Structure 1
């Protein structure tokens, strides 16, 4: 009859204990606006996720006509709330280049509406 294999001591618990500690995100802690269903921009406007990802034709129309546009992890720290990072709204002159870059790299587009409901925002998640 074959002998039983020896059982090792430790195992999985020792492996977990030996792993380095998880790095804290620190100052660059971005709450995902899509996962959270919205965000407050640096100007204090509340944006709610309206729909998305949207199809290419609607994304192209929003890129041209939405009141605001932001691209993924481009953002800024909010001085009033240290460590809070929000998407940065692009200036009108920055929008065409951001749209071209998104089209070249691939993207998912989401439509957000302001809390008042009268303004729209195109949020692009660009593939890297």
Structure 2
């Protein structure tokens, strides 16, 4: 019976042949999952920790008005090169609340779930998680 010949190319050779990404291509980081991780740090360096949630819609509605910060969805932060919760200006909150409230039904697409976070500096954040 003839002996088997070793392969001409080894796995190490194949891995070494994979080209490196271009140097000028920015590396994209995905943010941690704020609810799953129990908190996150925003672009300004403030750490937010999960306090409670999912919230009752009545509590979420109050926080949409009274919370120091409200977020819905995500935005890409160029400074940190990662996706972070999108902070809404105060005048955009009423419309965002109506849209989020319509998505509280589990069958809605996108589906929204409200959570309350507390900042290291004492501020309150209404975090509306979005599921597509």
Structure-1 residue corresponding to 2:130: 126
Q: CA RMSD in A?
A: 1.7
Deviation at 1:76, TM superposition (A): 2.5
Structure-1 residue corresponding to 2:114: 109
Cα deviations across residues 27-85 of structure 1 (Å, max 9, x unaligned)?
Answer: 2623110011111111111111011111111111111100000013x222241x33x22
| Runs of 4+ residues over 4 Å off in structure 1 | none
Q: TM-score, normalised by structure 1?
A: 0.69
Deviation at 1:93, TM superposition (A): 1.2
Structure-2 residue corresponding to 1:66: 67
For structure 2, list consecutive stretches of 5 or more residues without a partner in the other structure. Answer: 1-26, 105-111
Aligned residue pair count: 99
In the alignment, the residues of structure 1 paired with residue 101 and residue 63 of structure 2 have an alpha-carbon distance, to the nearest angstrom, of 14
Aligned partner (choices 84, 93, 96) of residue 94 of structure 2: 96
For structure 1, list consecutive stretches of 5 or more residues without a partner in the other structure. Answer: 1-25
